[in-house]
Amino acid sequence: MSAVFKKEFAGYFRAATGYIYFGVYILFSGICFWLINISNGITDYAGAMSNNVLVMLLLVPVVTMRLFAEEARQKTDQLLFTSPIKPWKIVIGKFFAAYALYSAALIFTVIFPIIISFYGNIAVASVFSSYLGYWLLGACYISVGMFISSLTQSQVASAIISVITLLSFLLIDAMAASAPISRVASITFVVVLIAGFAVLMYFASKNILAAVISLLVLGASVVGAYFMKPTLFDGAIYKALTWVSINTRVYNFGNGILHLTDIVFFVTFSALFVVFTIIAVLRRRWK
């Protein structure tokens, strides 16, 4: 796993990807720091950090698009799949290489709140929680981008799909605000989610039996829940979208609010897509 990590991390700087990521991220963070904090004399750096989500939407897919798509296009993935390294170690090594690049750029921006501290009081707890939130958010974005990269041989397609997927996360709050609250709409929403998960299982594993079993188990669980407590489905769309809203959880960190549930959510979210990637890699290996 360490060999994969070193190869991937060094690869970012053998090409222009690592330098572009560092340069653009630091430049954008510096511009936000100047416009929000320096120009207006504001010491709240957490507010300036909230703008980083926009540049992350564009930069993270650039980092993750090459993880598997490039190797599939060049057929060098066959060398990995026939090596004695286990597939899960390959996936985790690639994930941590991309995450290390992201973390390094994020840590570099610590210089901005340090500058603020020389000229005014700064809310250290709020800055710390903001960095923790965006560090965890980066893991989520990278895991999603890596999974999408494992499903295609085109880096461009991987990047575009990743941007669209990550952008959809930003729209969840707006979708929740306009979501219907009727029980029929909620049940329909749950059925669509179950069907979507089954389809995702099939494309990730190419195993129709696993997809059908997932569909039946989840469907039976929903039916049982409905007969036990029908009111559970009232406003289910709003509840579900609010619960999975990444933005809301990140804003909690930005406001200095640390909830264990938010941390567990980010870690679980990232781990889930890493597992999806491992399944996709195993499918390609045996194929």
Q: What's the average model confidence in pLDDT over 91-110?
A: 91
Overall pTM surpassing 0.85 (yes/no): no
CA 191 – CA 185 distance, rounded (Å): 10
In sequence order, the 6+-apart residues with CB closer than 8 A to the CB of 162 are 60, 61, 64, 65, 144, 145, 148, 149
Task: Compute the mean pLDDT over every residue in the chain, rounded to the nearest whole number.
Answer: 81
What's the mean pLDDT in 110-120? 83
- pLDDT class of 88 with cuts at 50, 70, 90: confident
Top mean-pLDDT range of 44-53, 108-117, 180-189, 239-248: 108-117
Q: What is the pLDDT of residue 75?
A: 58
How confident is the model over 159-177, as pLDDT tens digits? 888 888 888 888 877 777 6
| Residues 6+ away with beta carbon under 8 Å from 126 | 44, 46, 254, 255, 256
Does the structure show a pLDDT above 90 at 143? yes
Q: What ranges do the domains of the chain cover? A: 2-178+244-286, 180-234
Q: What percent of the chain has pLDDT over 70?
A: 91
Tokens 């990550």 belong to residue: 166
Tell me the mean pLDDT in the region 215-231.
78
Q: Which residue has the higher pLDDT, 144 or 44?
A: 144
pLDDT for residue 241: 77
pLDDT level of residue 246 (50, 70, 90 thresholds): confident
DSSP state at residue 40 = T
